[in-house]
Structure 1
Amino acid sequence: MASSKRILSVDIYRGLVMFLMMAEVWHLSKVSSNLPESSFWSFLAFNQSHVAWAGCSLHDLIQPSFTFLVGVALPFSVARRISKGDDSKNLWLHVIKRAAILVLLGVFLRSMYSSITNWTFEDTLSQIGLGYPILFLLGSKSERKLWIALVALLIAYWLAFFLYEIPPSLNNLSNTGVSPDWQHNYSGIASHWNKNTNLAWAFDRWFLNLFPRESVFNFNGGGYATLSFIPTLGTMILGLFAGRILLEDSSDKIMRFVKIGGSLITISLVLHFAGINPIVKRIWTPSWTLFSGGLCFFILTLFHWLADKKEIIKPFNWLKIIGMNSLAAYVMAHTIDSFIHKNFQIHIGENYASFLGMPYQTLVSGSVILIMEWLLLRWMYQKKIFIKV
C-alpha cells in the first residue's frame, strides 16, 4: 500500500473517538438520574462515564484509542516527510516541536477555568507529548526490538510500583483523598496500585509542587498521574505495530490484528484476576496498556475490514470528517461547548431544550451543540482546513 494514501479505517476510527468525546455534552448521567428506573439510560450513562477504578467502560477507551492511533499514524507520517525530502535533523525538529505543542496545549486547556496556569500533565495531549519523542526514536527499530522495548518498559514500570512503599505518615485521608475502607481498595500485591497511595501519586506530590500553584498539591481527585505517560508510551508502541502492518502489502492483516489483540487481552485478564496487576485506566497500569491495546486492535480490525477491505465508506463519511480534523474536534470539545450553550440560554431562553420533557433537556441541548460542531468541522473539511502540529 502506498505510504501517501490515507487509510480510511484510521480516519473513521479517530472520528469515532472524537465523537465520543464531543458527545459528553449529552450528559447522559443526568438523563439517567432523571429516569432512575430505566436500565437503558443507566447502561448508556455507564458507558459515558469513567469507571471508579478497575475495569472499563466505552468512555474509558477514548484516551487509549486516541493514543493508539498516534502510534498507528507515525509510520505514515515519517514516510510522507521522507518522501518530501526531510532529513533526520528536520524530522527530529518536527518531533520536538510537536511534542512541546501537545504538552503545552494540554496545560492550556486544563487551565481554562483556573485563575493561574494549572501545571498538570495527566491529560491526553500532554501524556502523548511527553512520550512522543521516545516513540519516534523507537519508530525505526526492528519488530523484535520493539517487542523487547515494550515488554521491558511495562515490566520496569510494574516493578517500580511494586517496590515502592508509601510512608505511613502520608497514608491518611487528608493526603490521599481516599478512605481506607473505600470499596475499590486492593490488598496484597495489587494494593501497590491503589488510588493515591502509589508511586505515581508520590512522584506528583513532589513534581507538581515545583510549579506555581494556588495551593499545595496533595492528590488528584481522579487518581490520574503524570508518570502515566510511561505506560501510555506502551499504548503508542502497540499502535506503531498496527501502523506498520497497515503499511505492508499483505493479505493477512486482519488475522494478525485479531491474534495480537486476543493475546494482549488474555494476558491482561490473567494478570488482573491473579492479583498481579489490576486493569486500571486512571493510572494506566501495565495490564491496562495490554487490555485497552487489545481492544484497540479489535476496533481497528472492524473498521479496516469494513472501510479498507469491503470499501463500505458512505455510512462512515460523517465520522471521517471528524477524524480528519481530530485536533480541532478535541479543542472544540474542551472550549466551545459551554460557549454555545450559554449563548442559546441568553438568546433563546433557559428552557429552550426542554420541549421533550425535563428529563431529556441535556440530550436536546447537547444534540444542538454536536450538530453545530459537526457543521463547523464539515465546513473546514470542504475548505481543506486541517489543524495539525
Structure 2
Amino acid sequence: MIKKRFPAIDYFRGFILVLLAAESAGVYSKLQDLFPHSFVVQQFFHASWEGLHFLDLFQPGFMMIAGSALYFSTYKRIDEGASYAELWPKVLKRSFLLLFFGIILICVHRGEMVFELWNVLCQLAFTTLITFALLRFSIPLQLAASLFLLLLSHSLYVFTDIPGYDQAYTPDKNFGSYIDMLFMGKLSSGHWIAMNAIPTAAHTIWGALIGRLIHRTSPPRTVLRTLIGLGLLGIIVGYGLDLAGLPIIKRTATLSFTVASAGWVTLMMALFYANWIHDDKPRFQLPAYLNSMGNNSIFIYLFFETLVPQWLTKTTYVFVGFAAKLSQIPSDWAQVINAFVALAIVIKVASFLDSKKIYWKL
C-alpha cells in the first residue's frame, strides 16, 4: 500500500523545477553574457539542432517524473478504494487544464492571443492520458506501447513523402513541420514540433514504470542497480542510434534523443533514489526548498514562467541595479546578481506555500 509520498520523487521534481526557474529568471542568459565561450554555460542552452546539452534533459526529466508521480497518486487512490473508472474524470480534467494553461502560458509570452501547442504543459496533457490508460496493464505491454509510439513517430518522419516536408532531419522541412502547418498554420521559430507529444509519451510511460519499480520491487539495492542499468542501457542505445545515422535532435524528439535523454534522466533519478535507500532517511540532507518546489510543481511552474520574466526580474533590478551602482559593480555582474535574486524569490514563495500547506493541484 502507498501511505505516504516518496521523498526522492518530490526532491527530484523540485531539482528539475529549480533548473527551469533559473532559466526563466535569466540566470543562464546573463552568465552567457559574461562567459560567452564557456563549455559549462553552453550546457544550459539547447543544442542548436543536433546534439544533447544538459538543458535538453530538463523537459524529459519533467515528463518522466510526472509519470512517476502519476503512478503513485493513482495507486494511492486505488489503495483507498477508488477504481480506475472513478479516476478517469479527474485525469481528463487534469489533462484539459494542462492543455488550457499551456496555451495561456504561450499567449502570455507572446503578448497576444495565439494557438500554439509547443509548450511542455500541452505535451504533458497528451502524455498523461496515454500513460494513465496504460497503468493497469503489464510491464511488457506498457513497454511495447512506448516502443510503438517511438517507431510510429520515427516512421512518419522517415517514410512519408510530402513535397517540401520530406527531409526527416532538416529544420522546418520534416513531417512534424507539415503537421504544425496543417493544424496551426505556422512553424516554431525555434523549430519545435507539436507532435513531439507522441514520442515523448514514452518518457511519461517510462517514468510511471520507474514508479512501479520503486513501489513493487525489493530490496532497495535491487531497485538502485536496476535504475543504473536501465540508465546506462538508454545512453548506450541512444548514442548508438546516433552513430548509426539516426541523429539526436531534441527539437523533433528523434528516436535516439528520446532514448538517450531517458537514460541520462534515469541515472539522475537513481542518484536521488540512492539518497533515500534506507527507510526514507536521506544519506545527505538536501535543501528543503527542493521538496517545497516539488510539492507545488504546477503552480510554481506557472508562476516562474509568467510573472518572473514578465515582471519580477524587471522589478528586482530597480533595487539591485541601484545597489550595484552604489557598490560600483559592473552592469553585467549586476544582471547576474539580479537573476539569482529573482530565483531566490521563486524558491522563497515555494517554501512559504509549503510551510503553510497551501497547494494548488490540477
Q: Same fold (TM over 0.5)?
A: yes
Q: What is the alpha-carbon distance in structure 2 between the residues aligned to residue 349 and residue 243 of structure 1?
A: 43
CA distance in 2: counterparts of 1:13 and 1:105, whole angstroms: 23
Q: Which residue of 1 aligns with 2:242?
A: 272
Q: CA deviation at 1:147?
A: 1.6
1:45 matches 2:41? yes
The answer to whether the Cα contact below 8 Å between 2:192 and 2:251 also exists between their aligned partners in 1 is yes
TM normalised by structure 1 equals 0.86
Task: Look up the match of 1:197.
Answer: 173
Deviation, 1:307, is: 2.8
Q: How does 1:10-49 map to 2 (within 5 A)?
A: 10-24=9-23, 25-36=25-36, 42-49=38-45
Which of these residues, 219, 222, 226, is aligned with residue 256 of structure 1? Answer: 226
Aligned counterparts, 1:104-183, within 5 A: 104-114=100-110, 116-168=112-164
> What letter matches 1:103 in structure 2?
L
Distance 1:240 1:35, change over 3 A: closer
Aligned counterpart, 1:233? 201
In angstroms, what is the RMSD of aligned CA positions?
2.0
- 3-state SS of paired residue (1:311): coil
Report the CA distance between 1:341 and its aligned residue: 2.4
CA contact (8 A) 1:164 1:198 kept: no
| Letter matched to residue 261 of structure 1 | G
Give the equivalent residue in structure 2 for 1:359: 332
Question: Contact 1:166 / 1:197 at 8 angstroms: preserved in 2?
Answer: no
1:80 shift after superposition: 1.5
Spell out the pairing of 1:176-325 with structure 2 (5 A cutoff): 191-209=167-185, 217=186, 219-251=187-219, 252-275=222-245, 277-309=246-278, 311-312=282-283, 314-325=285-296
Letter in 2 for 1:143: I
Equivalent of 1:59 in 52, 55, 59 = 55
How far has the Cα of 1:224 moved from its partner?
0.7
CA drift of 1:14 comes to 0.6
1:344 aligns with 2:316: yes
379-388 or 314-323, larger mean C-alpha shift:
314-323
Q: Structure 1 or 2: larger helix share?
A: 2
1:92 — aligned with what? 88
CA displacement at 1:4 relative to structure 2: 2.2
**Which 4+ runs in 1 deviate beyond 6 A?**
none
Cα displacement string for residues 46-96 of structure 1 (whole angstroms, at most 9, x for unaligned residues): 122111011111211111000001111122111122233333332110111
Opposite residue 92 of structure 1, the aligned amino acid is W
Secondary structure of 1:112's match? helix
Report percent identity of matched pairs: 26
Task: State the match for 1:7 in structure 2.
Answer: 6
1:183 paired residue number: none
**1:106 Cα shift?**
0.5
| Residues 166, 306 of structure 1: alpha-carbon distance in 2 compared, 3 angstrom cutoff | same
Q: Which residue of 2 aligns with 1:175?
A: none
In structure 1, what is the Cα distance between the partners aligned to 2:293 and 2:126? 25
Contact 2:95 2:125 in 1 (8 A): yes
Distance in 1 (CA, whole Å) between partners of 2:177 and 2:337 is 39
Q: Which letter does structure 2 place at the counterpart of 1:342? A: K
Runs of 5+ consecutive residues of structure 2 not aligned to the other structure: none
Which digits, 9 at most, give the CA deviation of each residue in 1:278-333, with x for residues without a partner?
11111111211111111111001001001343622523322111111111221122
Decide whether the 8 Å contact of 1:75 with 1:240 is kept in 2.
Answer: yes
**AA aligned opposite 2:301:** Y
- Where in structure 1 are there 5+ consecutive unaligned residues? 172-190, 210-216
Equivalent residue letter for 1:278:
P
- Number of residues of Structure 1 aligned to a counterpart in Structure 2: 354
2-structure distance, mates of 1:22, 1:303 = 20
Distance 2:176 2:347 in 1: 37
Q: Which amino acid aligns with 2:192?
A: Y
* Conserved 8 A contact 1:35-1:359: no
Distance in 1 between residues matched to 2:355 and 2:179, nearest whole Å: 46
Q: State the secondary structure of the residue aligned to 1:334.
A: helix
Aligned counterparts of 2:13 and 2:241: Cα–Cα separation in 1: 29
